[in-house]
Structure 1
Amino acid sequence: MKTKIKTMILACSCLLAAGLTVTQNAVAQEGNAKPNIVLINMDNFGYGELGCYGGGILRGGATPRIDKLATEGTRLLNYNVEAQCTPSRAALMTGRYAVRTGNGSVPLETADYGLTQWEYTMPEMLGDVGYTTAMFGKWHLGQAEGRYPTNQGFDEWYGIPNSTDESLWPAQEMFQKYRKLAEETGKNPMIKEEHIYSARKGSPAKVVKVYDLPARREIDREITDHAKDFMTRQAKADKPFFLYLPYTQTHMPILPSKEFEGKSGNGQWGDVLMQIDAYTGELLDKVDGLGIADNTIFIFTSDNGGECIPGYQGWSGPWSGSYFTGKEGSLRVPFIVRWPGKVPAGKVSNEIVHQFDLFATVANIAGGKVPTDRIIDSKDMTDFFLGKQEESGRDGFVVYVGNDIHGVKWHNFKMMFMEFEGGLGSGKLNVFPLPHFYDLYSDPKEEYPVTKATGGSLWQRWGCGPILTEHQASLAAEPPIKPGTLDPYVPAKQNK
């Protein structure tokens, strides 16, 4: 099947010239001190959850603080991410398609996953230009020494290395049986409880406690408290900081803190929405109270579209699909950015931005460097974010689900080669004999594909095709790192 898919993709693409090269130079923001950066990255938080995106009270929990944040900054309607947790975080941290780093899919077969030391991450880039960096929350880019956040550029970390569904394991009798067997025999060493860790750069990570259901309830409270303490310390030190907050909500199991349990009166989802809004409000209040609001870039976004597991399902607003699909409900998530006096207040844009574009943008603003010794997919969005131009500069990108190319998005059109009927690959994978084309203005839910029978719209392939062929040429020029690659790693072309 893979050969057939590759043949079909190539047949539908236009031939372009050789590989992609990126030689951007970081440019510091003239006349300003380096801004602080607070980046909230929710987990499986759908496009339609917030009030300012059509949710809020419609979903059982008001979100007034985040809705107000949207009026104070710019809100994007077409901010796109990778379709799974690990690839999404890899793309954000490196400015590269996750497949390039060996993290195109969530780790199911190898325990040795995550970013190699060769990758140059956002916190490393910011640390190199004087920032203090901290991460509190879910990493999902490595679960062993050498691949923790404090091995990848963060000065401090409190949180979990993997995923929140692992909090369900400790309460299972069968899991405990096989966990003990693994301990006794030395076999199946990854059958073990996940833990919350605390770490500082240069020292081994320390186990804090088992990440079980009671810990799952309160970890986002703890993350918020760590964040406020970090900002207070950095404000006193008068040093720019990068605070990355990958919260664990709303990844299943969706359980509110005891503080918010029952608060909405509309069930756990409403409670959790109120919790998310309140914690964001606390962070905004801390920024204001420390007197650093005018020089702090504050971002609220998500790693993936909404959950698809019955009982925990999220909401994608006007779009269809959940994460683990190539549909808009997987790709589009909320994105709000505030930087008083610099980012336009109250602006709403439908321009395409991809999460890996934050790398080059942050580098420009902070005076960091974008590597030129590897392919970088990130585009500098500084002028777009600052309101100096209306266009983002990105006209599309390749749609991956795991390590497979599912299609291409170009302006408001999509050319799709395959699609899952349900999220998490739970439905049938439909591989189309000819690509399906969608116009997202007239068909936002991707319900009425244009195919050969209605070929009047097949001109769209000449917009989508070049994006794909350019990307494929870049993969040939710089082969992706293989999943499970161990350190030390040096690309073959640099190892000659």
Structure 2
Amino acid sequence: MKTKMKTMILAWSCLLAAGLSVTQNAVAEEEASKPNIVLINMDNFGYGELGCYGGGILRGGATPRIDKLAGEGMRLLNFNVEAQCTPSRAALMTGRYAIRTGNGSVPLSVADYGLTQWEYTMPEMLSDAGYATAMFGKWHLGQSEGRYPTDQGFDEWYGIPNSTDESLWPAQQDFQKYAKLAEKTGKNPMIKEEHIYTARKGSPVKAVKVYDIPARREIDREVTDHAKDFIGRQAKAGKPFFLYLPYTQTHMPNLPSKEFEGKSGNGNWGDVLMQIDAYTGELLDTLEHNKIAKNTIFIFTADNGGEMVPGYAGWNGPWSGSYFTGREGSLRVPFIIRWPGKVPAGKVSNEIVHQFDLFTTFASIAGGKVPQDRVIDGIDVSDFLLGKSEESGREGFVVYVGNDVHGVKWRNYKMLFKELEGDRGTGKLNVFPMPHFYNLFADPKEEYPVTQQMAGRLWYRWGLGPILVEHEKSLAAEPPIKPGTPDPYVPAKQNK
């Protein structure tokens, strides 16, 4: 009897072990089928900078690796972003208009800015889908505990919390005087030296060094090295990963690394373009070396159009306007995506895609979940990117500059209620008694509003207007989070 019982127990143990093995194998196979995602997000990088977008040697620095990448994948001519750094990054991370998250504008007076813990971010979504996640570079979505990248879904981070112009502060005598005064009195606590930080999920952030001019020059080199190390580690672990690389170039001051200083012979801008191209090439080579390039989605894009500061201004190709405006030079940025054997090689499209579409698209591809308890503005454009559809599915979007609606874009038409004079975001704001309408095929530089030249074509408004009406309805149904809202935050409708 005892022998029979032992035999039965042994049999059940074998069956249980076999079942666990099958389950573990199934999980491993599912993870192996998920593509890795590498997302490069340049800072204030104009539409016309790369060779494949009309720049490169025309701008003083060849970009052969990125141009080759474009030939191996799909290049979009109408990829759109929000008009400022913080809003752009908020939209990318949440799949929502930045106005909804309380981050519609670059923080100028609210120190406790950034994403509330209630927001469900891209790295959180991918982490829940089984991905390792890392971010190396500029965050600009929070500078306090609870608001850092490792509080918002990233497993690890190395970079800066805010903006690169802060690297100019330490060398200023008046800044040092008032920074010491602020430390002594406790007043004006944000007048302080910024640092480069490192962090792991579940642990406090650690300051590595002051973010000054020497650090500014080398941070993208360091970011690239961290990224290469992460790729190698995850390739060995056999786990799918999401690598987010928000580089600091070409935000002012756009100073090259010592490694690339003088390399182009055409000044800082040419040097920086060669640097960006080389770092991108290193990442591509690292994927090849680790034999995971074929199962990796590789994206090169930017958060905004080119700078508006004289001496640091970028080039937006055929478009007018800099970032901080509602013009195409602010909204359109380069977008290249490669996924060998999946994304059609060499394809070029003028279909509209918005940066918040990446959230829903990644969810579709990676098996992630899109929240159902809030408004999500992104749509799934995976069929379009994978060549299964010629249309993206997006007809247009509302154009924000800061927290203000400046207009609407629909297909190749545009309606603007407000415009800044000149090509820069520092111009005088003009509010029109009647909207200005543009046909972007006929007038790419937005020079001749329909109200002045082609009044008989105001039928445009019946394509443009409904987009704004639907958007305003959604804001009424789900009021935006107020800037500076602290955690914990729960929407009023969920708190009843």
TM-score by length of 2: 0.93
Distance 2:183 2:259 in 1: 36
Given residue 328 of structure 1, which amino acid in structure 2 is its aligned partner?
A: E
Percent of aligned pairs with the same amino acid = 83
Given residue 204 of structure 1, which amino acid in structure 2 is its aligned partner?
A: P
Distance 1:266 1:164 in 2: 23
Given residue 67 of structure 1, which amino acid in structure 2 is its aligned partner?
A: D
Given residue 70 of structure 2, which amino acid in structure 1 is its aligned partner?
A: A
Deviation readout 1:89-140 (Å, 9 max, x if unpaired)? 0000000000000000000010010000000000000000110000000000
Contact 2:76 2:349 in 1 (8 A): yes
CA RMSD, Structure 1 to Structure 2 (Å): 1.2
Distance 1:351 1:399 in 2: 17
The equivalent residue for 1:308 is 308
Q: Per the alignment, in what secondary structure is the counterpart of residue 462 of structure 1?
A: helix
Aligned residues: 468
Cα 1:65–1:372 shift into 2, 3 Å: same
The equivalent residue for 1:11 is none
Cα 1:422–1:150 shift into 2, 3 Å: farther
Given residue 206 of structure 1, which amino acid in structure 2 is its aligned partner?
A: K
Distance 1:454 1:144 in 2: 51
Deviation readout 1:423-468 (Å, 9 max, x if unpaired)? 6641110111100000000100000001177321100000000000
Are 2:382 and 1:377 equivalent residues in the alignment?
Answer: no
The equivalent residue for 2:457 is 457
The equivalent residue for 1:210 is 210
With CA pairs under 8 Å and 6+ residues apart, which has the higher RCO, 1 or 2?
Answer: 1
The equivalent residue for 1:281 is 281
Cα drift, residue 207 of structure 1? 0.2
The equivalent residue for 1:97 is 97
The equivalent residue for 1:472 is 472
Cα 1:102–1:171 shift into 2, 3 Å: same
Q: How does 1:37-436 map to 2 (within 5 A)?
A: 37-422=37-422, 425-436=425-436
Cα drift, residue 357 of structure 1? 0.1
Distance 1:103 1:420 in 2: 21
Contact 1:86 1:140 in 2 (8 A): yes
Q: Per the alignment, in what secondary structure is the counterpart of residue 454 of structure 2?
A: helix
Distance 2:473 2:240 in 1: 39
Once superposed, which parts of structure 1, at least 4 consecutive aligned residues long, lie more than 3 Å away?
A: 29-32, 422-425
Cα 1:423–1:144 shift into 2, 3 Å: farther
Distance 1:44 1:423 in 2: 15
Cα 1:341–1:191 shift into 2, 3 Å: same
Given residue 346 of structure 1, which amino acid in structure 2 is its aligned partner?
A: G
Contact 1:416 1:435 in 2 (8 A): yes
The equivalent residue for 1:23 is none
Contact 2:85 2:106 in 1 (8 A): yes
Deviation readout 1:341-397 (Å, 9 max, x if unpaired)? 000000000000000000000000000000000000000001000000000000000
Q: Per the alignment, in what secondary structure is the counterpart of residue 170 of structure 2?
A: helix
Q: Per the alignment, in what secondary structure is the counterpart of residue 33 of structure 2?
A: coil
Given residue 338 of structure 2, which amino acid in structure 1 is its aligned partner?
A: R
Contact 2:31 2:240 in 1 (8 A): no
Contact 1:434 1:452 in 2 (8 A): no
Deviation readout 1:162-185 (Å, 9 max, x if unpaired)? 000000000000000000000111
Distance 1:479 1:234 in 2: 40
Contact 2:325 2:419 in 1 (8 A): yes
Distance 1:248 1:83 in 2: 17
Contact 1:324 1:423 in 2 (8 A): no
Distance 2:132 2:310 in 1: 41
Contact 2:323 2:425 in 1 (8 A): no
Contact 2:413 2:438 in 1 (8 A): yes
Contact 1:325 1:422 in 2 (8 A): no
Cα drift, residue 421 of structure 1? 1.6
The equivalent residue for 1:25 is none
Structure 1 gap ranges (5+):
1-28
Distance 2:438 2:185 in 1: 54
Are 2:483 and 1:490 equivalent residues in the alignment?
Answer: no
Distance 2:184 2:32 in 1: 59
Q: Per the alignment, in what secondary structure is the counterpart of residue 281 of structure 1?
A: helix
Cα 1:453–1:423 shift into 2, 3 Å: closer
Distance 2:89 2:441 in 1: 29
Q: Per the alignment, in what secondary structure is the counterpart of residue 419 of structure 2?
A: strand
Contact 1:323 1:423 in 2 (8 A): no
Are 2:439 and 1:439 equivalent residues in the alignment?
Answer: yes
